[in-house]
């Protein structure tokens, strides 16, 4: 029997994952001391998903500044003191046989909300009192309780570019293989990209190229930071410095709203990102306008396919995009569905989030469902090999 596409190795920039399943970033809101420091919960949670067979595990949205956190309980990488906790997460993920990625983000006008946990008082009630909100324009997220952000000036923008670079340097020091920049879900980078939240008239707003300026500056700064870490000899704070690293970005392909970003805008942007040195594009949607996303089985897959087709067309024309992978996500919750998306050529990899909250061993189970019996060859935990047989 030939290996199912889902269980075949995946090249991500300079790295190879054992299969094409990604754990997408999912906030655990478990930095209990409000200091952005990882806890045992994170180590266990991510390590378990690696043991469960994911090829690539992306750690949740991790803030590049304290004000950029989505809640007080978010992880951070704005301080060297936060590196050690991430190093423990990385070790647990590597022990489980997966590549370790981390999503670096800033919440922009949607920062500083209570955590989306049912045990949090006032969950989803808008901006916390006194939070210093920044955004491309002084326009509140159009939902109850969200405060009006301060419009960033050019010095503030430059500081944030540097904050992303410094957080990436720390992520490299923690040993992460892949850095995913959060450019989706109505957070800061997406706010710059979307004409619905960016009404600036300076170099960082206006037409498509102006709205892309800040996100592309972040991409360039992060690429530089991780390449720099990869080329320096010896160790950075004890982590292997010379290791090659991959760069990804998560995008909301469409705003699902009149006048907002469209799949075509994003497909064109994917080619520009490829030219800027991005290795992986993780295609989500929505988040900048409340209540418009038509969630359903595979609802975001056509946007991944559109970006992948634009990259292929660019390569065929001699342009950038060679080797850049596209990850599909969103209500992909059966092995057959995931396999069909890959064999149709709609994406190079599949991320499954909520299914993995229900079942940390999802990849092992899906491998079994797809008839994979040789778990050693598939790179799955050999300790569980008897699970492959009825």
Which stretches of the chain bind ligand FMN, using CB under 6 A? 24-27, 60-61, 103, 182, 184-185, 250, 284, 329-332, 352-355
Q: Phi-psi bin for 309: left (phi > 0), alpha (psi -120 to 50), beta?
A: alpha
Of 169 and 185, nearer to ligand FMN (C-beta) is 185
Long-range contacts of 32-35 (CB under 8 A, 24+ apart): 32/73, 34/72, 34/73, 35/76, 35/81, 35/82
SS3 call for 182: strand
Provide, rounded to whole angstroms, the least separation between the CB of residue 27 and ligand FMN: 4
Q: Which residue has the tokens 């990899």?
A: 349
Strand 239-240 vs strand 235-236: parallel, antiparallel, or unpaired? antiparallel
Provide, rounded to whole angstroms, the least separation between the CB of residue 25 and ligand FMN: 4
Provide, rounded to whole angstroms, the least separation between the CB of residue 58 and ligand FMN: 8
Which residue among the candidates 187, 299, 361, 384 is catalytic per the annotation? Answer: 187
SS3 call for 11: strand
Of 60 and 255, nearer to ligand FMN (C-beta) is 60
Please give the distance of CA 138 from its chain centroid, rounded to a whole number: 26
Of 193 and 239, nearer to ligand FMN (C-beta) is 193
Of 171 and 352, nearer to ligand FMN (C-beta) is 352
Q: Which ranges in the chain belong to alpha helices (H)?
A: 40-51, 83-95, 154-174, 188-193, 208-231, 263-275, 301-316, 335-343, 354-358, 362-369
| Residue 29 among the catalytic residues | no
Number of residues that make up the chain: 390
Provide, rounded to whole angstroms, the least separation between the CB of residue 91 and ligand FMN: 21
Provide, rounded to whole angstroms, the least separation between the CB of residue 184 and ligand FMN: 5
CB nearest ligand FMN: which residue? Answer: 353
Of 128 and 388, nearer to ligand FMN (C-beta) is 128
Identify which of 219, 258, 253 has the alpha carbon closest to the alpha carbon of residue 329: 253
Catalytic residue positions, numbered: 187
């Amino acid at each position: 029997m030939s290996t199912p596409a889902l269980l075949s190795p995946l090249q991500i920039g300079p790295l190879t994952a054992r299969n094409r399943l990604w754990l997408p970033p999912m906030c655990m809101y478990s930095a209990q001391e409000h200091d952005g420091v990882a806890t045992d919960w994170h180590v266990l949670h991510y390590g378990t998903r690696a043991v469960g067979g994911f090829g690539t595990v992306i750690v949740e949205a991790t803030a590049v500044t304290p004000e950029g956190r989505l809640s007080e309980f978010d992880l951070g990488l704005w301080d060297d003191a936060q590196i050690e906790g991430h190093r423990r997460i990385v070790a647990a993920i590597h022990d489980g046989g997966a590549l370790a990625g981390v999503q670096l983000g800033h919440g922009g006008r949607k920062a500083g909300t209570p955590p989306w946990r049912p045990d949090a008082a006032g969950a989803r009630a808008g901006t916390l009192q006194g939070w210093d909100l920044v955004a491309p324009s002084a326009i509140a997220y159009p939902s109850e309780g969200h405060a009006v952000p301060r419009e960033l000036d050019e010095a503030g923008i430059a500081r944030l570019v540097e904050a992303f670079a410094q957080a990436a340097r720390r992520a490299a020091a923690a040993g992460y293989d892949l850095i995913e920049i959060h450019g989706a879900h109505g957070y800061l980078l997406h706010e710059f990209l979307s004409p619905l939240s960016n009404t600036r008239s300076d170099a960082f707003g206006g037409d498509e190229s102006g709205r892309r300026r800040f996100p592309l500056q972040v991409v360039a700064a992060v690429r530089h930071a991780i390449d720099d870490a990869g080329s320096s000899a010896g160790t950075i704070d004890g982590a292997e410095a010379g290791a090659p690293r991959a760069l990804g970005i998560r995008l909301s392909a469409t705003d699902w709203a009149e006048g907002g970003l469209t799949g075509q805008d994003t497909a064109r942007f994917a080619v520009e990102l490829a030219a800027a040195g991005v290795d992986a594009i993780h295609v989500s949607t929505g988040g900048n306008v409340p209540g418009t996303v038509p969630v359903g089985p595979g609802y975001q897959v056509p946007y991944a396919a559109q970006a992948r087709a634009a990259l292929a067309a660019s390569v065929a024309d001699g342009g950038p995009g060679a080797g850049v992978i596209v990850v599909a996500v969103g209500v992909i919750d059966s092995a057959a569905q995931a396999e069909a998306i890959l064999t149709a050529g709609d994406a190079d990899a599949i991320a499954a989030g909520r299914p993995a909250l229900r079942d940390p061993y999802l990849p092992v189970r899906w491998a079994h469902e797809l008839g994979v019996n040789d778990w050693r060859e598939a790179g799955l935990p050999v300790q569980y090999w008897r699970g492959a047989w009825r």
